[in-house]
Structure 1
Amino acid sequence: MFTVRDALKIGELKRGKLVSGSLGLDNPISTVSVIEVPHATKWLKGNELFISAFYAILDNVESQLELIKNMYKYKAAGLVICHMGIWLKRLDQEVLDLSNELGVPIIIAPPNVAYADIIVPLLDELLKRETNKLKYCLKVQNELEKLILGGKEIHDLVIMLGDTINKGIAVFDVNNICISETNIPKEDIEILKNTARECLEMSFSRKDKNIEDNIFHIRTLNGKQYLFYSIVADKDYYGVIVILISKNGEKTLSNESLLVVKQASIAFALMFTKKKRMEQMEDVLKRDFLADLITWNFTNEKDVIIRARNIGWNLSDKHLLIIANIDNINNISSARNETFEDTNIYLKNRVYPLVVDLVKDENKENIIGLRSDTIVILLHSDKVSEELIGRAKKLGNKIIDLSYKVNLSITVGISNIFYCVNEIPQSYNEVTKAIKIGRKIYGNRKVILYNNLGFFTLLSKLANTCEWRDIQKSMLSKLYEYDKANNTELMLTFKYLLEYEEETSKVAEKLFIHNNTVLYRKERIIEILGYNPFENPYKLNFEIALLLDKLVK
């Protein structure tokens, strides 16, 4: 960066004198120009070093002050006064005071120096620096091309970028996973992860704006200053580059380094695109394999083992199947004002990676795959024991806890232990039944073991028979008919009385009515049915009837 301080070391300005505005000595200079008209603000572009003799405003202090204010407003670098003593005899103290206050440097050039003697050396220096910057950028670009064409990985690019600009670097993808880092304090990684997510969300929310406005975010974290640079290509976001630019508030990132980061972001975008395409191919292969595995579209176990190995899965010592399935995905999509596809994308890009972390933390040999709105997990164990069920329940509860954090209702089903690969289709059927029946009996966001369903599986079959519907109609028809004729809620009250073991206070709270009203309705139910349904054997009959009603729904 070329500054006013640097300009005072070049050409005739070496003999110049800084008379005010020393706070602006580090103002950057991008060009040199002449200004004689104080109202010519449309020509102020920023970072100009202006030269003037104040010829048009020699005796107008107000206009001189206005010029200094406009230079500050439009971020001009500074002002060189030429021919001092020939035209302008002296600078008013008000002008000098304003210059000091705003940090707009005023330099008095030697009296007999022509404008050209100042302008030409400065422009030569600027051109020289721009040429060197271009050479530097071309060199960096060549290095980046070698990395990409040489098939190097993202980590290699992170190391190269860190070494080039001599800064700590971390890269996060759109799933907010730290892909690679170098020279970043370990204690900062988690807080950087959270801030990277915020910066990406800010970028996503501003897609309709100028893309350049979305690139930079600077944050001070743990006493260090970090720059967050969005990785963008064709208005698509691929992640964030995080740069440790300073410690203790000292800014040390040059314009040249920023140019390198910008070039590197393009290289990162290319690498992420390649990585994404590879992952998409792997996803297709894994989805197809899962579909064939749970339907057993194989002739023998050997084919299964080989095909699993080809996609990086080892099916040896896998003895338990877990499924995590979104509850009412269509209803959730509507509530979130999203399409089914949007919710699935959220599951894949935001939720699934977090579940992968949980599963791999439990045991790195566990297998996990995604199939539409369902996460399929095969639990690894060197020996088969009941301990495996305990591990599965613990993992299932962690997934449920995660579902609250990601605001996505998920139910988890666990199969019985299996011993051979060809038993996986049966285990898959067990888990899907566990989730389907368990949701009706226990509700959503639960961990459900197939082995704990007991007779519910048989009752579920009975619930869908015509015979059961006829029995239910004959048992409950009197209450339904009474409610319909009198616009009452005896049937609903009856259900809650059975569900809450006749605790009338709980039923009253559930129905938002007085406790005495519940007692009255209870007596009416007994009176209409002609016997006491809250005593056995009648009570058991009705409890089974209402349970079957749940299973039908």
Structure 2
Amino acid sequence: MKESLTHRQLTSLIQISDILNSSLNINLIIDSIMKETVSVIEAADAGVLFLYNSEKNLLIAQSTLGYETYRLMDVRLIPGQAMAGAAFLERKSLLFSSQEQVKEAYKTLSNQTVQLFNQSVPLYPYSAVCIPIMSKGQCLGIINLGSFQEKVRFTTSDISLLIAISHQAAVAIEKARIFEEKEHIVDNLEILNAKITQQNQVFSRSIELHNYFANLAIEGEGLSSILDYISKIMGYECLLFNNIGDLILGRSSNKEKEPLLANITKELSSHLTFENIKNSVKELKIKEINYKTFTLPIGSKQNWLGRLVVCSENTISEVDIAALEHACTVISLEMMKEQAIYETQQRLKGEFIDVLFSGKMDDSLLQKAKNLKLDQNGNYIVAIIDINGNSLIQKRRYVLQIINRVLKQDNINGLTVTKNNQIIILFSFERKSTLPYSKLKVSQSIDYFMKELSLKRWEINISIGVGRLKSQLENVYKSAQEASKCLRFIERHNLSTNILNYSDLGVHRLLLQNSEEELEDFIYETIGPLLKYDRVKKSNLLNTLSYYLETGQRNAETAKLLHLHINTLHYRLKRIEDILSINFSDTEQFLNLQLALRMYHYLQGKLRVSGKSMTTELEGREIY
């Protein structure tokens, strides 16, 4: 193998060297090595160039000539396997002079790899040669050539040329790899430089916007100016919601898109609760146009204030997201400032209400009332709301927000304040307002408030007591006392309703003036025998009496409602008179009977009959 190269071989080697040095593309060099090597070695009919992958410890086919490439390129050899694996392991050129030697080398292959070889070429080579590509003592790969001519064999001269070619190939591969690594480094540097440039832009833009938003806050421009900037300058539709999902402010990038805000609010309303969330992206389809909404939280878990929602047809850039996050920080500070002002106002209002409800009027209180825009000679109604449920302190604040929104929408003047587990509403009306008008406005506001509250699905129980209309501020404490009595009445008597107006109680106010024991004694003395008779005889005379009173003692109408013959009704009424020892024509007895039935309606289920619990009911009907 130490024979000198012939003139033709030297010429071929120089040509191959020129070709390999003409490119730094690793794939092109590998293909050139394979092509030129097969072309200058007369015995070679086909060849494969394997490169060693040190991470996987495998020889991997990189280029083929004379084989079915799509099959052979899947070949992976472990060092030591087959002819190429043996040459790699021994770090020297190997010559396989016969087909038998080739077949023997193939025995070290897996069945799957043998199949790949067989599918690439139907015959085993009659002879083969494997030349390692060496560089600095390391084997970069193997050049594997095969001859399919029975009488043609590789010579020592061929091996000498192949060794020389492998040296040229090693240099070319090393150069290409170094170039590839440098290119990769350059590409990475360019990517890194682009990221740094982008981050600098984001940072610069963020500082610019942060300073701008901070200046807005310092100058007292408020939330409106911040949202104006987001919409007009940044070009987004933006909405600011509080912590219970109510819209505080909305701004559009132009007038044509203003209707879009209402649609976005409607679409998002079911998803916006007072629960804390992280930044989120949601796609909405409005009028056949796809919009992307980006939601950012305002405040912290300890002090959750709301969220900012921006909307765009395009994806929001990282620069703008960073800007919006700065905006949220400033919005948070602005909302916390408003919250602090609000809490101070609540404290001052609470102190005012305490003195007002004590009934002690003085010049100082009148001045505070004037500052609160309360007319000394106006008309007032007090409503008190009892709240019970989970997360009471947090939800009490949310309930108060809903009340304030309802009052604002109904254009009702007044004052709201939280006290312990209660919310107090002082409805204020002009002196010329009538009693029916005032009662209607209060009733409508409470109904609207209850509907709004039901949509929130919070686990809280609400009871509302409403006092009567009082003229002049000095008499407001009386309305407050009446509202408190209504709440006690609801709690004491387990009413089916959770809203009670003192003016609707009528004669039932007597229930507020007496103990339950006294009321039970009166009921038992008046209709007790009839209740006992119904229970023992399993009759229903109390029901007959109830219908009789409901119809205003009209016999024909009562008989029709009870599906009775008129004579049967007469018999029942006479039996009731006998059991109770009364006469319906006696005005005083009849009044007592009506009062007892009304009280029984409110207290049923809690009465005593001979020391036992009484469960007789009036079939759920109201008694006149």
TM-score of the aligned structures, taking structure 2 as reference length: 0.55
2:474 pairs with 1:422: yes
Q: 1:475: Cα distance to partner?
A: 2.9
Q: Which amino acid aligns with 1:193?
A: T
1:369-396 per-position Cα deviation (integer Å, ceiling 9, x unaligned): 4444344133231x4242x531431341
Q: 1:319: Cα distance to partner?
A: 1.2
Checking the alignment, whether the CA contact within 8 Å between 1:172 and 1:193 is kept in structure 2 is no
Checking the alignment, whether the CA contact within 8 Å between 2:385 and 2:463 is kept in structure 1 is yes
Which structure 2 residues correspond to residues 453-468 of structure 1 after superposition, within 5 A? 453-457=505-509, 459-460=510-511, 463-464=514-515
| Cα separation, partners in 2 of 1:504 and 1:254, compared to 1, 3 Å | farther
2:344 pairs with 1:293: no
Q: 1:198: Cα distance to partner?
A: 3.2
Checking the alignment, whether the CA contact within 8 Å between 2:414 and 2:425 is kept in structure 1 is no
1:160-210 per-position Cα deviation (integer Å, ceiling 9, x unaligned): 333552323221111333333332644344443344443333x82xx6xxx
Q: Which amino acid aligns with 2:594?
A: E
- State which of 240, 252, 257 in structure 2 corresponds to 1:171: 240
In structure 1, stretches of 5+ residues that fail to align are 1-11, 13-35, 41-54, 66-86, 88-109, 509-513
Residue of structure 2 in register with 1:325 after alignment: 385
Checking the alignment, whether the CA contact within 8 Å between 2:407 and 2:445 is kept in structure 1 is no
2:338 pairs with 1:271: no
Checking the alignment, whether the CA contact within 8 Å between 1:155 and 1:180 is kept in structure 2 is yes
Residue of structure 1 in register with 2:46 after alignment: none
Checking the alignment, whether the CA contact within 8 Å between 1:167 and 1:183 is kept in structure 2 is yes
Residue of structure 2 in register with 1:448 after alignment: 501
Residue of structure 2 in register with 1:122 after alignment: 191
| Cα separation, partners in 2 of 1:535 and 1:160, compared to 1, 3 Å | same
Q: Which amino acid aligns with 1:425?
A: Y
2:372 pairs with 1:303: no
- State which of 393, 396, 399 in structure 1 corresponds to 2:443: 396
Q: 1:548: Cα distance to partner?
A: 3.4
| Cα separation, partners in 2 of 1:215 and 1:530, compared to 1, 3 Å | closer
| Cα separation, partners in 2 of 1:462 and 1:430, compared to 1, 3 Å | closer
2:325 pairs with 1:262: yes
CA distance in 1, matches of 2:573, 2:494: 28
2:309 pairs with 1:242: yes
Q: 1:405: Cα distance to partner?
A: 4.3
Q: Which amino acid aligns with 1:245?
A: S
| Cα separation, partners in 2 of 1:467 and 1:175, compared to 1, 3 Å | closer
Residue of structure 1 in register with 2:426 after alignment: 377
Q: 1:257: Cα distance to partner?
A: 0.8
2:573 pairs with 1:526: no
| Cα separation, partners in 2 of 1:62 and 1:158, compared to 1, 3 Å | farther
The count of residues paired between Structure 1 and Structure 2 equals 424
Checking the alignment, whether the CA contact within 8 Å between 2:465 and 2:485 is kept in structure 1 is no
1:310-351 per-position Cα deviation (integer Å, ceiling 9, x unaligned): 5x443355312141535xx55xx4xxxx3xx52x643531x4
Q: Which amino acid aligns with 2:239?
A: A
2:272 pairs with 1:200: yes
1:218-259 per-position Cα deviation (integer Å, ceiling 9, x unaligned): 43334462514132444353212121312xxxx152221112
Identity %: 13
2:610 pairs with 1:544: no
- State which of 275, 286, 297 in structure 2 corresponds to 1:221: 286
Q: Which amino acid aligns with 1:116?
A: K
CA distance in 2, matches of 1:167, 1:470: 72
Q: Which amino acid aligns with 2:325?
A: K
Q: Which amino acid aligns with 1:160?
A: Y
Residue of structure 2 in register with 1:94 after alignment: none
1:452-476 per-position Cα deviation (integer Å, ceiling 9, x unaligned): 655544x336643876654433333
- Secondary structure at the aligned position of 2:272 is classed as helix
Q: Which amino acid aligns with 2:264?
A: L
| Cα separation, partners in 2 of 1:191 and 1:295, compared to 1, 3 Å | farther
| Cα separation, partners in 2 of 1:158 and 1:467, compared to 1, 3 Å | closer
- State which of 134, 145, 168 in structure 1 corresponds to 2:214: 145
Q: 1:137: Cα distance to partner?
A: 1.8
Q: Which amino acid aligns with 2:337?
A: K
Q: 1:129: Cα distance to partner?
A: 2.2
Residue of structure 2 in register with 1:474 after alignment: 525
Residue of structure 2 in register with 1:314 after alignment: 374
- Secondary structure at the aligned position of 2:432 is classed as coil
Q: 1:424: Cα distance to partner?
A: 1.6
Checking the alignment, whether the CA contact within 8 Å between 2:250 and 2:261 is kept in structure 1 is no
Q: 1:411: Cα distance to partner?
A: 4.4
Residue of structure 2 in register with 1:406 after alignment: 453
Which structure 2 residues correspond to residues 58-207 of structure 1 after superposition, within 5 A? 58=62, 114-117=180-183, 118-183=187-252, 185-201=257-273, 204=275
Say what the alpha-carbon RMSD is for the aligned residues: 4.8
In structure 2, stretches of 5+ residues that fail to align are 1-23, 25-51, 64-68, 75-140, 142-175, 455-460, 552-556, 607-624
| Cα separation, partners in 2 of 1:227 and 1:430, compared to 1, 3 Å | same
Checking the alignment, whether the CA contact within 8 Å between 1:411 and 1:444 is kept in structure 2 is no
Q: Which amino acid aligns with 1:396?
A: S
Q: Which amino acid aligns with 1:346?
A: K
1:82-102 per-position Cα deviation (integer Å, ceiling 9, x unaligned): xxxxx9xxxxxxxxxxxxxxx
Q: Which amino acid aligns with 1:215?
A: S
| Cα separation, partners in 2 of 1:219 and 1:161, compared to 1, 3 Å | same
1:26-61 per-position Cα deviation (integer Å, ceiling 9, x unaligned): xxxxxxxxxx99x99xxxxxxxxxxxxxx9685797
CA distance in 2, matches of 1:163, 1:56: 60
CA distance in 2, matches of 1:410, 1:313: 28
Checking the alignment, whether the CA contact within 8 Å between 1:168 and 1:243 is kept in structure 2 is yes
CA distance in 2, matches of 1:370, 1:288: 11
Q: Which amino acid aligns with 1:348?
A: R
Residue of structure 1 in register with 2:397 after alignment: 348
Residue of structure 2 in register with 1:26 after alignment: none
TM-score of the aligned structures, taking structure 1 as reference length: 0.62
| Cα separation, partners in 2 of 1:465 and 1:355, compared to 1, 3 Å | closer
Residue of structure 2 in register with 1:68 after alignment: none
Q: 1:293: Cα distance to partner?
A: 1.0
Residue of structure 2 in register with 1:70 after alignment: none
CA distance in 2, matches of 1:61, 1:507: 96
